[in-house]
Amino acid sequence: MNTIKSKSSKRVLLCPLNWGLGHATRCIPIIDALQSLDYEVIVAGYGKSLNLLKVEYSNLKFIHFKGLEINYYNGIPAWASVLLQGFKVYKSIREEHEALKLITETVQPDIILSDNRYGVFSENIPSCLITHQLSPKAPFFQFFVSKQIARLINKFDTVLVPDYDQGNGLSGDLATNKYVTIPTKCLGLLSRFNFSVNKAESNIKLLALVSGPEPEQSDFVKKIYHSFVQLNDRTAIIHNSAFTFSNSENKVVEYKNISQKEMLQIIATSEIILCKAGYSTLMDLIVLNKKVVLLPTKGQTEQQYLVEYLNSFNIKCDQIIIDDKEVDVYDLSLFPNPSQQSLKETLNILFPAD
């Protein structure tokens, strides 16, 4: 196992995954905390997640670092799409591990932080994996999946879990795996929304917050748009998909390519948020104490598990009609979010004193 040097070591290489934007958005509070500790942060990534961080941080150095691209096939569950590309997944992990060697030779980092990129570890540089999925939910062969994931995780030096309590927090069973043998530390719930907001009233009753990979994002936006058009309440959709609104009556407000601060203002002043049950999205909405409607992606076992798990906290507060169906409304202000060691302090202990 690699040992992290003293606090005089200042350079951190951060490498987020590019599956949707959640892996990038939860890196925002990590970058902020590291910068407040005077660490130099270099971001290596690709696609929309890298572009998002470039917009947020004009002062950082960015490196294009290609990684895994998964194709999602219409008509089959998300887990099946990933399974069918198993060889491609392992090939990509090997390739990004080799590419990392060239990057580390150039930038000479003192520590590597990899957000769910299993090939981004070094045999010579302390490497931490940021993930809440130590044991992803599988529709079958859970034992095999847990052992295979642990084999990949154990190549790192430390796991950093974006949750306040491993096993009993928001991530539940996802964050426990008896086959993972390296140390784990909890970072607390990570949200990109850490600045103040104008609490002015809004007339938006229902706001859909849509992200994720294509073509799923466009398909979801299209479905929600046609549902919202039928409602009498004022509605809105935040998205970056290719779907085009045909909204002659302006019943559905569209927000596209907006800043993080604009997004926070819209979310904070909307009554109910409709979204998929992505983990990073849930962290944001818990921090903002929002009421939410969760529509997990069909065949996305993690999202389906998180909705079922939230039911155990007895935070349902209402039901509304969407697409002629009753759906539950959850009040995330009732979700436990205990005070904890700050993210800044947690990251600081990764660099032991001299």
Question: DSSP 3-state assignment of 228?
Answer: helix
CA–CA dist 243, 221 (Å, integer):
7
Q: Count the Cβ atoms, other than its own, within 10 Å of residue 178.
A: 10
Do 71 and 97 fall into the same domain?
yes
Question: DSSP 3-state assignment of 44?
Answer: strand
Do 169 and 183 fall into the same domain?
yes
Sheet bearing 291-294, strands edge to edge: 252-256, 235-239, 206-209, 272-275, 291-294, 325-331, 316-322
Q: How many separate domains does the chain show?
A: 2
Tens place of pLDDT per residue across the chain (354 aa): 665 555 555 899 999 999 778 899 999 999 999 999 899 999 999 998 999 999 889 999 999 999 877 666 666 666 666 666 667 778 889 999 999 999 999 999 999 999 999 999 999 999 999 999 999 888 778 888 899 999 999 999 999 999 988 878 999 999 999 999 999 999 989 988 865 555 556 679 999 998 777 777 888 898 899 889 888 888 999 998 888 887 656 678 999 888 888 888 899 889 999 999 999 999 999 988 999 999 988 778 899 999 999 988 889 999 998 878 899 999 999 988 765 567 887 787 776 544
Do 238 and 169 fall into the same domain?
no
Do 69 and 181 fall into the same domain?
yes
Residue 198 lies in a domain: no
Count CA within 13 A, CB hemisphere, residue 94: 6
pTM: 0.88
Name the packing angle between helices 279-287 and 301-311 (round to 10°): 40
Q: Which residues pair with 111 in a beta bridge?
A: 12
The domain that holds 100 is classified in CATH as 3.40.50.2000
Q: How much of the chain exceeds pLDDT 90, in percent?
A: 49
Do 224 and 172 fall into the same domain?
no
Say if strands 206-209 and 184-186 run parallel, antiparallel, or are unpaired.
unpaired
Do 128 and 276 fall into the same domain?
no
Residue 243 lies in a domain: yes
Residue 181 lies in a domain: yes
Domain range spanning residue 144? 11-189+339-348
Do 165 and 233 fall into the same domain?
no
pLDDT digits (tens, 9 = 90+) for 33-81: 999 989 999 999 999 899 999 988 999 999 999 987 766 666 666 666 6
Do 87 and 182 fall into the same domain?
yes
Say if strands 272-275 and 316-322 run parallel, antiparallel, or are unpaired.
unpaired
Q: What is the pLDDT of residue 166?
A: 80
